[in-house]
Amino acid sequence: MHIARTIEDLREHLAAYRRPAFVPTMGNLHDGHLDLVSKAKPLGDVTVASIFVNRLQFLPHEDFDTYPRTWDSDCEKLRAAGCDVLFAPDEKVLYPEPQTFKVHPDPALGDILEGHFRPGFFTGVCTVVMKLFCCVQPRVAMFGKKDYQQLMVIRQMVRQFALPIEIVGVKTTRADDGLALSSRNGYLSEAERAEAVQLSQALRAMAEAVRSGERDFAAIEARGMAALRERGWQPDYLVLRRRSDLQAPAAGEALVALAAARLGGTRLIDNLEIDG
Ligand code: PAF
């Protein structure tokens, strides 16, 4: 695996390839990331991952400084997963001057849910992903469905800027008990880790209620929020939305249940598409 620290070196290494398949990450890799890499491999003629903890997508009170940086084990995991090129710029390489020119997503999608509770988050994500796309110039890029809204925002950005990149959404990887894998799960204490599965269970309960014919979505959401609060969680949202644009659904539309909640000091997100 070649490690490129600069844009010039990256471009030199990719010059011979026509179809780079790209997995952008912030490191602290888990099996979900490695699944993105293995799914990327057959889709391109070279597999590229990036590790860059992007300051622009963290609010001032968030965990940018403490976000786990696990360089050696990340490199080992990427090598074992068959990654060909790792792009690992430092901040001076990716942001050599203050990044005042930014990509702002459509507020209708970017300012709701995650964007409401983390203002500016999707501007930070879009700006870095656009910049990483400019550096790597992939033909295909992989994003986990665990960050459901992020995947939708990126798809819209790629569509509206006519970027020649196929965006592939990959099913969430879960632990045996159902907890969605996340780099932030490492913040959980043993007791919190045991409790954390309740978030995916809350989503499953919402899906069950819909499948069994309940149509008072507000009541389903309120019940889920109350159940989590009773267990000591601080939920930001637990909602049923239509899949096409994450707005409030009308009857008969394909649905997704989305949740974000804090357990102790750790904020977790998850979602579940609801079939029929
Ligand atoms: O999902 C992530 O890890 C990040 O938001 C991304 C896409 C790598 C941009 O920093």
Quick one: what percent of the chain has pLDDT higher than 70? 100
Three state DSSP letters for the chain:
CEEECCHHHHHHHHCCCCCEEEEEECCCCCHHHHHHHHHHHHHCCEEEEEECCCHHHCCCCCCCCCCCCCHHHHHHHHHHHCCCEEECCCHHHHCCCCCCCCCCCCHHHHCCCHHHHCCCHHHHHHHHHHHHHHHHCCCEEEEECCCHHHHHHHHHHHHHCCCCCEEEEECCCECCCCCECCHHHHHCCHHHHHHHHHHHHHHHHHHHHHHCCCCCHHHHHHHHHHHHHHCCCEEEEEEEEECCCCCCCCCCCCEEEEEEEEECCEEEEEEEEECC
Last residue of a domain, one of 116, 142, 170: 170
Quick one: what percent of the chain has pLDDT higher than 90? 98
User: Residue 43 domain-assigned?
Assistant: yes
pLDDT-derived band at 114, boundaries 50, 70, 90? very high
Q: Average pLDDT of the chain?
A: 97
pLDDT on residue 12: 98
163 and 246 housed in the same domain: no
User: Residue 236 domain-assigned?
Assistant: yes
136 and 16 housed in the same domain: yes
**What CATH number is given to the structural domain containing 209?**
3.30.1300.10
Q: Does the beta carbon of 115 sit less than 6 angstroms from any atom of ligand 1?
A: no
131 and 12 housed in the same domain: yes
What does the pLDDT look like over 45-56, one tens digit per residue?
999 999 999 999
88 and 190 housed in the same domain: no
**What CATH number is given to the structural domain containing 17?**
3.40.50.620
The model's pTM is: 0.97
Which of 128, 130, 131, 132 has most ligand 1 atoms within 8 Å of CB, for mutation?
A: 128
What integer is the mean pLDDT of 172-200? 97
As given in the structure block, the two tokens for residue 213 are 């014919």
Expressed in angstroms and rounded, the spacing between residue 201 Cα and the centre of ligand 1 is 25
- Note whether 28 and 51 are within 8 A (CB): no
What does the pLDDT look like over 231-254, one tens digit per residue?
999 999 999 999 999 999 988 899
Please calculate the CA angle 5-15-29 and round it to the nearest 5 degrees: 40
User: Residue 177 domain-assigned?
Assistant: no
User: Residue 106 domain-assigned?
Assistant: yes
What integer is the mean pLDDT of 69-74? 98
What integer is the mean pLDDT of 7-17? 98
pLDDT-derived band at 82, boundaries 50, 70, 90? very high
What integer is the mean pLDDT of 158-175? 98
For ligand 1, atom 2, name the residue with the nearest CA. 25
Last residue of a domain, one of 145, 170, 195: 170
pLDDT on residue 251: 83
Q: Does the beta carbon of 26 sit less than 6 angstroms from any atom of ligand 1?
A: yes
What integer is the mean pLDDT of 74-89? 98
149 and 247 housed in the same domain: no
User: Residue 101 domain-assigned?
Assistant: yes
User: Residue 132 domain-assigned?
Assistant: yes
Q: Does the beta carbon of 125 sit less than 6 angstroms from any atom of ligand 1?
A: yes
- Note whether 202 and 227 are within 8 A (CB): yes
pLDDT on residue 29: 98
82 and 199 housed in the same domain: no
128 and 192 housed in the same domain: no
162 and 33 housed in the same domain: yes
6 and 64 housed in the same domain: yes
Number of domains composing the chain: 2
pLDDT on residue 275: 86
pLDDT on residue 248: 96
User: Residue 176 domain-assigned?
Assistant: no
Q: What number of other Cβ atoms are within 10 A of residue 59's Cβ?
A: 13
State the Cα–Cα distance between residues 227 and 236, nearest whole angstrom: 13
195 and 157 housed in the same domain: no
Q: Which domain holds residue 252?
A: 183-271
Which of 125, 136, 172, 271 has most ligand 1 atoms within 8 Å of CB, for mutation?
A: 125
State the closest ligand 1 atom to the C-alpha of 54, by its place in the atom list counted from 1.
Answer: 10
**Residues 236, 193, 169, 57, CA torsion sign:** positive
State the Cα–Cα distance between residues 79 and 74, nearest whole angstrom: 9
pLDDT on residue 171: 98
Expressed in angstroms and rounded, the spacing between residue 229 Cα and the centre of ligand 1 is 29
Is 116 annotated in the active site? no
For ligand 1, atom 3, name the residue with the nearest CA. 25
112 and 236 housed in the same domain: no
State the Cα–Cα distance between residues 48 and 22, nearest whole angstrom: 5
pLDDT on residue 161: 98
User: Residue 178 domain-assigned?
Assistant: no
144 and 65 housed in the same domain: yes
